[in-house]
Amino acid sequence: MRFALMIEAQQGLSYEDQLSIARRAEAGGFEAMFRSDHYASFPGSSSQPTTDAWAILAGLARETSTIRLGTLVSPVTFRHSGNFVKLVTTVDQMSGGRIEVGVGAGWNESDHWPLGLPFPDIAERADLMEDQLALLRGLWEEPEGWSFDGHRVVVRGGKLVPGPAQSPGRPIGANGRARPRIITGSEGSPRGFRLAARYSDEFNLSSSTPEVAREKEAQLDAACVAAGRDPKSLTRSAMVGVLVGADTAEVDRRAGDLLRALGESGDARAWLDKRRSRWILGTPNEARAMVRRYADAGIERIMLQDLLPWDGEMIDLMAAELIGKV
């Protein structure tokens, strides 16, 4: 199993906080660190400070050296698709080719109206997402002069200079040049599967138990076959909530910390029990057992969704007890 760290930066994390986390994850051997792309603050207090994901990633790109970086995921409603391709490509150049880009339709209305950002209905957002995926692939892979007529976006004389960083191990486009990996995902829908089969390098499931993941992977296989694509060419990952401790006492302490951070009250164990079927919870042995269940369901990479990102010792524990041991 491969592991990435995933943080919800809208929990009030400053740039300095995120740099510290990224460096700690890099030192621990995580292959990548992803952050959310939200402007509203949650969970917990709605008054926590937030940051722009791609501005942060540009800084991290210059202050880390080996860890891959990306969003999980960037809503299509925040940035025009053409601007987004240019932005991602610029940060990719700054990183030396370590960027992975997650694209989504957006779901949180509170991210939008306070900043004057339109929040159209889901049909329009899904159309925008398909256009954005087409632009990412087209401007990275098609010859100069490429044209495109999408649902909402039109391109004439397509041109992107410079293109993505040419580093080894990346997907190779139709033009023979390397490009960043593209990630899409959701809880699983027919249109989401179809878009993944056509445009994505990786499909990321969220909020799914291992059993649900197995069912969704079978549906994704069928979508790939329908699109004429080898299902094995599409990496399968899952974003999974995580809370681990060296022993039961440490798990209980962190559970209390987590509930306070989320603004929740009540019994911490009861709160965790509701999530035990889909989170990686408990001592290292319990955590590894859950990871194996995801692996058995066909998941190849887990994004460990860390809702206690300021607890650096938990990041160290995850690195020591999970990476290379499952």
Residue with more model confidence, 264 or 72: 72
Do residues 202 and 186 make contact, with C-beta atoms less than 8 angstroms apart?
Answer: no
For residues 88 and 137, what is the distance between their CA atoms, to the nearest angstrom?
12
pLDDT band at 174 (very low <50, low <70, confident <90, very high): confident
Query: What residue numbers bound the domain in which 99 lies?
Result: 2-322
* In the predicted structure, residue 188 carries a pLDDT above the cut 80: no
CATH number of the domain encompassing residue 265: 3.20.20.30
Q: What is the 3-state secondary structure (H, E, C) of the chain?
A: CEEEEEECHHHCCCHHHHHHHHHHHHHHCCCEEEECCCCCCCCCCCCCCCCCHHHHHHHHHHHCCCCEEEEEEEECCCCCHHHHHHHHHHHHHHHCCCEEEEEECCCCHHHCHHHCCCCCCHHHHHHHHHHHHHHHHHHHHCCCCEEEECCCCEEEEECCCCCCCCCCCCCECCCCCECCEEEEEECCCHHHHHHHHHHCCEEEEECCCHHHHHHHHHHHHHHHHHCCCCHHHCEEEEEEEEEECCCHHHHHHHHHHHHHHHCCCCCHHHHHHCCCCCCEEECHHHHHHHHHHHHHCCCCEEEEEECCCCCHHHHHHHHHHHCCCC
Give the pLDDT confidence of 40-63 residue by residue, as tens digits. Answer: 999 888 899 999 999 999 999 999
**pLDDT for residue 88:** 98
pLDDT more than 90, % of the chain: 92
- What average pLDDT does the structure give for the chain? 96
> Which pLDDT does position 27 carry in this prediction?
98
Residue type, 302: I
> How many domains is the chain built from?
1
Q: Considering all CA atoms of the chain, what is the largest pairwise distance in Å, rounded to the nearest integer?
A: 62
- The DSSP bridge partners found for residue 186 are 205
- Per-residue pLDDT, averaged over 207-234, amounts to 96
What local confidence, expressed as pLDDT, does residue 183 receive?
A: 98
pLDDT at 259: 93
Check if the beta carbon of residue 187 is closer than 8 Å to that of residue 215. no
Task: Kindly report, residue by residue over 270-308, the tens digit of the pLDDT.
Answer: 888 999 999 999 999 999 999 999 999 999 999 999 999
How many whole angstroms separate alpha carbon 193 and alpha carbon 220? 6
Q: Are 105 and 128 in contact (CB under 8 A)?
A: yes
Tokens read off for 294: 């995801």
pTM over 0.85: yes
pLDDT digits (tens, 9 = 90+) for 226-273: 999 999 999 999 999 999 999 999 999 999 999 998 888 888 888 889
